[in-house]
Structure 1
Amino acid sequence: MANALYTRLQATANRLITSYGQTGTVKRLTPPDPVTGGDPVPVDHTAKLVPMGYTAREIDGTVIQAGDVQVYISSVGLAIEPTVGDLVVTANGKQYRVVNGDPNNYDGVTNVVFIVQGRTAA
C-alpha cells in the first residue's frame, strides 16, 4: 500500500519539474524477438525532466566525469523506470546515456522521482 507521504512527495516533485523543467524523452531499445530475430526497436517515452550539472567537487573523473549531468525525471505518467543503457534526450537536443540511476522508491510502491546520471551519448 502506498504511503501518503511519498504520494505527496511525488506530486510535489512532479509539480516542480513540470514548472521549471522541460519536456524530453527516455528512449529504450527493445530487444529483437529471439525466434524471428531482427533489429532492436527504439521506443520513445515522453517525460518531464530537469538536467542539472554536477559541481566541481562532485566530479572525480571515474564515477562522475566532466560533462556528466544529473537528470531529474518525473515519475508521474512515465510508463518505464529509466535504467542503465537508456537514452535521455533533452529538449535542447543533447542526448545522454543513463550510466547510473536512483528511483527514490522508499516504500517499495511509489517512485517519488527518478534521478539518473547521464553521460553524453557517442
Structure 2
Amino acid sequence: MASALYVGLQATAQRLIAKYGQAGVVTRLTPPDPVLGGEPVTTPHPATLVPMAYEARYVDGTVIRTGDMQIYISSVGLAIEPTVGDVVTANGTEYAIVAGDPNKFDGVTAVVFIVQGRIAQ
C-alpha cells in the first residue's frame, strides 16, 4: 500500500516538473517474438520531464560522459517505468537510457524517475 508521505512527495515532484519541465516522450522498443518472429514494435509514451546537464565534477568519461543528461521524469500518468533500453526525447534530441532510478522509497510509489540519458546513435 502506498504511503501518504510518498504520495505527497510524488505530487510535489509532479507539480515542480510540470512547472519547470517540458513535454517529452519515452519510447519503448519491444523486440519481435522469438518464436513467431515479426517486426519490433516501438511504443511512444508521452511524459513530462526536466533534462539537465551533469555538473562537470560528475563527468568522469566512463560512467558519465560529456553530453550525458540527467533527466527527471514525472511518474504521474506515465504508463511505464523508464528503464535501460528505452529512449527519451527531450529538447528535440533522443537520449538512450543507460542508467535509471525509479525512486520507490517505500517499494511501491515511484516518486520520480531519474535516468541517465546518452545521445542515441
Instruction: Please report how far the alpha carbon of residue 34 of structure 1 lies from its aligned counterpart in structure 2 after TM superposition.
Output: 2.9
Cα distance in 2 between the residues matched to 1:112 and 1:8: 9
Q: Partner amino acid for 2:112? A: V
Amino acid at match of 2:117: G
**1:99 equivalenced with 2:95 (yes/no):** no
Residues 56-86 of structure 1, C-alpha deviation per residue, up to 9 Å, x if partnerless? 1000110000000000000000000000010
Once residues 34 and 99 of structure 1 are traced to their aligned partners in structure 2, the CA distance between those partners, rounded to angstroms, is 24
Q: 1:116 and 1:94 mapped to 2: Cα distance? A: 15
TM-score (norm 2): 0.97
Amino acid in structure 2 at the alignment position of 1:17: I
Task: Give RMSD over aligned pairs.
Answer: 0.7
Partner of 1:88: 88
Q: What is the aligned partner in structure 2 of residue 42 from structure 1? A: 42
Residue number in structure 2 paired with 1:110: 109
Could you state the TM-score of these two structures normalised by the residue count of structure 1? 0.97
Q: Give the structure 2 partner of residue 75 of structure 1.
A: 75
Q: Give me the whole-angstrom Cα distance separating, in 1, the residues matched to 2:89 and 2:56.
A: 24
In structure 1, the gaps of 5 or more residues are none
- Following superposition, the deviation at residue 30 of structure 1 comes to 1.1
- Structure 2 counterpart of 1:17: 17
The CA distance in 1 between the partners of 2:105 and 2:68, in whole Å, is: 26
The total of aligned residue pairs comes to 121
Rounded Cα–Cα distance in structure 2 between residues aligned with 1:55 and 1:34? 42
Match of 1:27 in 2: 27
**Structure 1 residue 35 displacement after superposition:** 3.1
Deviation at 1:36, TM superposition (A): 2.1
Per the alignment, in what secondary structure is the counterpart of residue 18 of structure 2?
Answer: helix
Percentage of identical aligned residues: 69
